[in-house]
Every structure is written in structure tokens, then in C-alpha cells.
Amino acid sequence: KQIARLCHEKGVKCYLTVNTVLYDGDLPTMRNIIDAAVEAKISAIIACNVAAMQYAFSRGMEVHLSTQLNISNVEALKFYAQFADVVVLARELNLDQVAEISRQIELQDIRGPKGELVQIEMFCHGALCVSISGKCYMSLHEMNASANRGACMQVCRRAYSVKDIETGSDIELTVDNQYILSPKDLKTIHFINKMIDAGVTVFKIEGRARGPEYVYTVAQCYRQAIDAYLQGEFSKDNDEAISAKIAAWDERLARVFNRGFWNGYYLGQRLGEWSHRYGSSATTRKVRIGKGTNYFSRLGVAEFQLESFDLKVGDEILVTGPTTGVIEAIVCEIRLDDKSVEMAKKGDRISIPLPQKVRASDSLYKIVKVEAE
């Protein structure tokens, strides 16, 4: 309810995923969840089970089809259109296939419950599962925690070795990458124009368990890219200017959590690309160094308690909090005991000019560069 209220106050739609495998014993819980979503005025339910779709539909709740349905053809879409107004197509499709489904939606006049043509939603950025449209059993097999029940333990992200047992030999095969089950992250910002031209009208960013700075940066970059397309900036007459913008977006996206990037299957590539390390390949990382203690609105100055490491003028900082959201800034001045200083140390209580309000207990981070391996 709190999340829905905040979204409504900001004019933002909010969706609730109910896209796990459902057994008979789960149905009462599923109904309770959807009832609560209706009461909270959630914008739509994202579902992959017909039981959830039917119940949400019966309650007047808008339904979006999850990618876990693996919808990859127009006949499947026509069947599910009786429940849903938006479909997240299979991530394994290329843009030619997406464009054909979009064309058939118009040609066959395929409409959802609202009476409007079904909209196509596609993933545009973020983590990808090693399995087809997220239907993975590896976590269940290894950790007894089912990815299809919302409990993926990400065991695919570990390093693995490959052995040849066909010959009875225990000699380890030589492979160029130990992370042979860990896909790189999807990035489409450099061809977002082609996705829109293919008929995609809703873009989905995968951001599970990501920090607020990830959400802020990625959402802002893609919002700017879509706006640039709508303003005609992706035209051939504007190659140099849009290339510069794409380079700037790429640089920003590389700074937040990622496992390296690839184009997915959208441009016709049939084989995946794999990470080369465990964890993030971001060019920067955040280090928590303190917390907010006060904000002086008339002066536009934030006060922080440094709890670890030092901070100096010129450092890049990040402030996050549940109400504050995300603040990014370069430290232009530090005041300690009413004196301007070049550097502050652990234990110091300092003031920094910031135009946005900082709240008590907001987290203060220093952004540091990651050395390339």
C-alpha cells in the first residue's frame, strides 16, 4: 500500500509480479495477494499462470503477460489476449520476429480486455537468465530453492570447470572462460530506435536487488534515449550528434552494476555471451563512508557524520535514502568546525553544499574508480 501510494503521488504506474509456479495450496495466497493489489490500486498484475490471470481478470485488475510464458508467436498471443492488455514477449526473439508479431496484432485486430490493441513489452536492459525466458531449475537442483518460485540463488553466476568424462579421463578441458553459465547483461540503448520501429511500446528494465543509483541511472538514460527518438534525433542526418549521446549513455551505464554488456538476441545473434568475472564489471563502485545528520534549507547545506574513510574536495559522492532517493554530486567545498578544509577524516562531522534536501540517516557514499583487470 505504501509503495502504491508513493507511486500514485508521483504519477508513476506500479506493477505487482505474481508470476511464479502456482500449486493448489498456493491459490488462496494468490487470491489474497491480488485482492490486496486491487485494494491498493496497483496498476497491473504481471502473471504467467492462467489461475492468476483469471482471478485478476475477475477482480477487474489489468493483467500483463510475463516473459516466463515464453510467448514467441502470434497464435499464443491471441489466446492470452483474452486476459491481458500488455505482453512481454520471449527474450529469445529477434526484432524481425517482434516486428511481424506487431504487424499481425494490427492486421488481425488483436485486442485486450480494455478494447485496445495489445501492447508489446520487451526487456531493454539488465540481467539475463541462462535458461529460456527464465525457466531455470539449476537453483532448485543445487540449493533446493526454486527460481520458478521466486527464490533463485544465482548459482549460474559461479565459476565452473568442464571435464571430459566420455573417455574416462579426469583431465580438465581448456575453456577461455570459467563463467560459462553467467550471461552478460542486456543493453539496447544504442539500438532503441530499432526496438521502437519493431513495435515495442513498453520497455522493461531488469533491476532485481539493485541499488537506488542503478535504478536512477538506468531509467534516466533510457528515458533520455526514448525521448531522443521521439524528437527525431536517431535520424541518419543526425549521426554524429546521436553517436555522442549514445557514448555518454554508455559511459553512465558502465558505472553502475553490470556483468558486461551484449545485444541479446534482438539483432539476430543466436549464441549468448558470457561474463568474465564474478559480480559486477562496473567501472566505479560505491563505498559507504557516513550518514546524513542534518540539512540547512536556507543555506542549501547538508551535514554528514563520516563513519569510515576520508573525503576530500573534488570527490564524487552519492547520497541515498528511502525518501531522498538518489543525489549525485561532486564535493565542491567541505566545512569542518566552521572552517573550509580540503579533506575530512573518519569521525569528523562535516558540512557540504547540496541543493537537494538530505535527511537524517541517509547513507553517504564515495564513488571510486575500479581498476581494469
Residue 146: pLDDT band with limits 50, 70, 90: confident
Are 84 and 119 contacting, i.e. CB atoms less than 8 angstroms apart?
A: no
User: Long-range contacts made by residues 320-324, C-beta under 8 angstroms, separation at least 24?
Assistant: 320/211, 320/212, 320/213, 320/362, 320/363, 320/365, 321/292, 321/358, 321/359, 321/361, 321/362, 321/363, 323/359, 324/292, 324/356, 324/357, 324/358, 324/359, 324/362
**11 pLDDT exceeds 60?**
yes
Q: Tell me the torsion sign for CA atoms 274, 276, 279, 280.
A: negative
Q: Give phi and psi for 190, each to the nearest 5.
A: -80, -10
Q: Which helix (H) or strand (E) holds 362?
A: none
**116 pLDDT exceeds 60?**
yes
Residue 342: pLDDT band with limits 50, 70, 90: very high
CA 169 to chain centre: 43
Q: Is residue 325 part of a domain?
A: yes
Closest listed residue to residue 280, CA positions, set 253, 257, 309, 256? 257
Are 274 and 183 contacting, i.e. CB atoms less than 8 angstroms apart?
A: yes
> What is the mean pLDDT of the segment spanning 34-50?
96
Q: Is residue 260 part of a domain?
A: no
| Mean of per-residue pLDDT scores for the chain | 92
pTM: 0.88
Question: Which position has the higher pLDDT, 268 or 107?
Answer: 107
Residue 166: pLDDT band with limits 50, 70, 90: confident
Residue 270: pLDDT band with limits 50, 70, 90: confident
**171 pLDDT exceeds 70?**
no
Least confident of 138-142, 189-193, 329-333: 138-142
Using DSSP, state whether 190 is helix, strand or coil. Answer: helix
C-alpha cell at 245: 549521446
pLDDT above 90 covers what percent of the chain? Answer: 73
For 230-291, give the secondary structure using H, E and C. HCCCCCHHHHHHHHHHHHHHHHHHHHCCCCCEECCCCCCCCCCCECCCCCCCCCEEEEEEEE
Which tens digits make up the pLDDT trace of 215-247? 999 999 999 999 999 999 998 777 889 999 999
**169 pLDDT exceeds 70?**
no
State residue 154's pLDDT score.
84
Q: Is residue 121 part of a domain?
A: no
State residue 301's pLDDT score.
97
Which tens digits make up the pLDDT trace of 172-213? 555 667 788 888 999 999 999 999 999 999 999 998 889 999
Q: Is residue 159 part of a domain?
A: no
Which tens digits make up the pLDDT trace of 274-291? 887 888 889 999 999 999
Q: Is residue 297 part of a domain?
A: yes
State residue 168's pLDDT score.
62
Least confident of 127-141, 185-199, 293-307: 127-141
**331 pLDDT exceeds 80?**
yes
Count of domains for the chain: 1
Q: Is residue 357 part of a domain?
A: yes
Which tens digits make up the pLDDT trace of 352-361? 999 999 999 8
Q: Is residue 141 part of a domain?
A: no
Q: Which residues contact 185 (CB under 8 A, 6 or more apart)?
A: 125, 126, 127, 128, 258, 259, 260, 261, 262
Q: Is residue 327 part of a domain?
A: yes
State residue 176's pLDDT score.
66
State residue 237's pLDDT score.
75
State residue 170's pLDDT score.
58
User: Domain with 364 in it: what CATH number?
Assistant: 2.40.30.10
Q: Which residues contact 220 (CB under 8 A, 6 or more apart)?
A: none
Domain housing 333 = 284-369
State residue 218's pLDDT score.
97
